[in-house]
Structure formats: structure tokens, C-alpha cells
Amino acid sequence: MTVNGSERRRRSDGERTRAAILEAAARFATLEGIEGLTLGRLAEYAGMSKSSLFSAFGSKEELQLATIEEANEIFDREVVAPALEPGTPLERLRALCERFLSHVERYVFPGGCFFASAAAEIDTRQGLVRERVTGAVTDWLDLLEQQIRDAQKEGQLDAAEDATQLAFEVQALLLLANSQFVISGGDASPLDRARRGIERRLELAGAAPGTPYQRRRRST
């Protein structure tokens, strides 16, 4: 079946509109919570008509699931993909930590890390929304742990270190830095403490000292 130019343009316009809606939804969810993500409240936040949102999403859950997927894509683009460029496993681990802190500092999501916010909100609930959020959190922890295991194989970290425990400790520092940054209204000192804490922990695990983390200026 062929698609004419006007149909392609309409489809492209529709895809761009949907992407813009979901990006706004991901930002909104870090401020008001994923349970607060209703079609009516999102329409008000995004400056759109409620009817246009109803035409794009059939239910609140559909909107929530699509928002989680969009947040995952943003997180991958801002944090994961740049950190996994060619380098040693230890370099990638450090880059993942730095990109995480940087995305918080740059207000990629205005309420801090999307998944930290969503996980704290729905941790005791059941359903597909919780499954998608916890799946993303697990994937991130697994990614940190894999870099640690790879670094151990290459002799960059002590093979006797418990990789799961080390990943847990690194994640704990990242999450506390995120929380304190948000609560303080943008005080970057918790991010710097996390940088120093992570570097100290890696050195205890046998890593050669890296370039000392310096707070990055927020890019505009």
C-alpha cells in the first residue's frame, strides 16, 4: 500500500504531537506524581485541550504506560547511551554515575530522576504501571552491576568485591543526591558529595584514582 505525501505529513505531525505530549507528561509526573497524571491535569499543564489528549490516549493507564516508555527513552538518551561509548568498564561505570548526576543537575526532569520519583510513589501498589517502573529500575541496577563485573574481569576492580553490593552502594549515593537536590531546591552540594563518595568507594574497591569529579555547570 502506498502512502501519499499528505498522509505522511499528517502521520508525521501526529507523531510529533504525541512525542511532545509524552515529554510534557514525563516532566509533569516528576512534579505531581504518576498517579496525578490524568488527561485533564496534563491538558492544563501542557496548554492543550482535553479532547486532543482523549484522541491520543484511551485511558489514564495507557497514558501512564506511554509516559514511562517516553521517560525511559529520555533517560537512555541523556544518561545511558552517552556513558556507554567506547572505553573501559570502569570508565563506563564512572560515566554512568556522572551522567545520572548531570541529568538531575540539568533538570532534564524538573522533579529529579523520573524513575526515582515514580518508584517511591508506587512501590507498594500492584499492576502494570508498577511493573514497568520497577523493571526500569532493575535494568539500571543491572547495568551498574555489569560494568562492575566487567571491570573485575579486566583487573580494574578487586575480584573479591561483591558486585551486587557495590552497585547497591553506588545507587544509594545517586538516589540520596537526587533526593537532596530536589528537596533543597537546586543546591548542588549533594551531587558533589555523591561524586566524592562514589569515587572513594571505587578506590576502596581497588580502582585507580580517577579524575576528581568536579561539579559541572548546568547547560542550557
More confident residue, 88 or 126: 88
Q: What is the pLDDT of residue 210?
A: 73
pTM of the complete model: 0.86
Give the percent of the chain with pLDDT over 90.
Answer: 64
* C-alpha cell, 30: 516528576
Q: Where are the domains of the chain?
A: 61-204
Pick the CATH number of 61-204 from 3.40.50.970, 1.10.357.10, 1.20.1730.10, 2.50.20.20: 1.10.357.10
List pLDDT tens digits, range 144-166. 999 999 999 999 999 999 999 99
- The contacts of residue 62 (CB under 8 Å, 6+ apart) are none
